[in-house]
Chains A and B, each alone.
Chain A
Amino acid sequence: MSADHELIAHLTPPASPSHAPRRLPQSWLGLVLPLGLLLLAELAVRVGWLASHLLPAPSDVLQALQELAHQELLTHIAASALRVAAGFMLGASLAVLLGAWVGLSPLALALLNPSFQALRAIPSLAWVPLLLLWLGIDEAPKIALIAIGAFFPVYMGVASGFRDVDRKLVEVARLRGLSRVALARRVLLPAALPAVLTGLRNGLSLAWMFMVAAELIAASRGLGYLLTDGRETGRADIVLAAIVLLALLGKLSDGLMAAVEARALHWRDSFGASP
Chain B
Amino acid sequence: MSALLDLRVRRKAYAGKTVLRDVHLRLDAGEVLALVGASGCGKSTLLRIVSGLDGDFEGQVQLDGQPQQRGMASRYVGCVFQEPRLFPWLTVARNVGFDVGPNFDAERVSALLAEVGLAGFEEVWPKQLSGGQAQRVAIARALYARPRLLLLDEPFSAVDAFTRIKLQALVAELAHRHGSSLLLVTHDVEEAVLLSDRVLVLEAAPGRIARSVEISLARPRARDGGALASLRSEVLEALHAVHVF
State the A residues within 8 Å of B (CB): 3-5, 7-8, 11-14, 168-169, 171-177, 182, 186-187, 190-191, 193, 267-269, 273, 275
Choose among A3, A172, A190, A275 the residue that contacts B89 (Cβ–Cβ < 8 A). A190
Residues of A within 8 A of B133 (CB): 11
> Contacts of B73 on A, CB cut-off 8 Å?
175, 177
> Shortest Cβ distance from A184 into chain B, in angstroms?
13
B79 within 8 A of A: yes
Given A11-B133, A269-B127, output 20 extra A-B contacts at Cβ < 8 Å.
Answer: A3-B169, A5-B117, A7-B117, A11-B117, A11-B118, A172-B87, A172-B98, A174-B52, A174-B53, A175-B52, A175-B53, A175-B73, A175-B77, A177-B71, A177-B75, A190-B89, A191-B89, A267-B90, A267-B127, A268-B88
Contacts of B128 in A (CB 8 A): 14, 275
For the complex, count residues of B whose C-beta is within 8 A of A.
36
Interface residues of B (CB under 8 A from A): 51-53, 71, 73-75, 77, 79, 81, 83, 85, 87-90, 98-99, 101, 117-121, 123-128, 133, 145, 166, 169-170, 173
A59–B89 CA distance with the chains assembled, in angstroms: 49
CA–CA, A270 and B125, complex, Å: 13
A sample of 9 cross-chain residue pairs with beta-carbon separation below 8 angstroms, ordered by A number, consists of A3-B166, A13-B123, A14-B124, A168-B81, A172-B85, A173-B98, A175-B52, A175-B77, A269-B126
With A and B bound together, what is the CA distance between A182 and B102 in angstroms?
Answer: 12
Which residues of B are found within 8 Å of A12, using beta-carbon distances? 120
- Contact residue among B52, B88, B121 (Cβ-Cβ distance under 8 Å from A269): B88
Q: Is the interface of A mostly helix, strand, loop or mixed?
A: helix
A191 to B99, CA, bound (A): 17
In the complex, chain A residues whose CB is within 8 Å of the CB of B119: 8
Instruction: Select one of B79, B90, B118, B169 contacting A175, CB under 8 A.
Output: B79
Closest chain-A Cβ to B48's Cβ sits at a distance in Å of 9
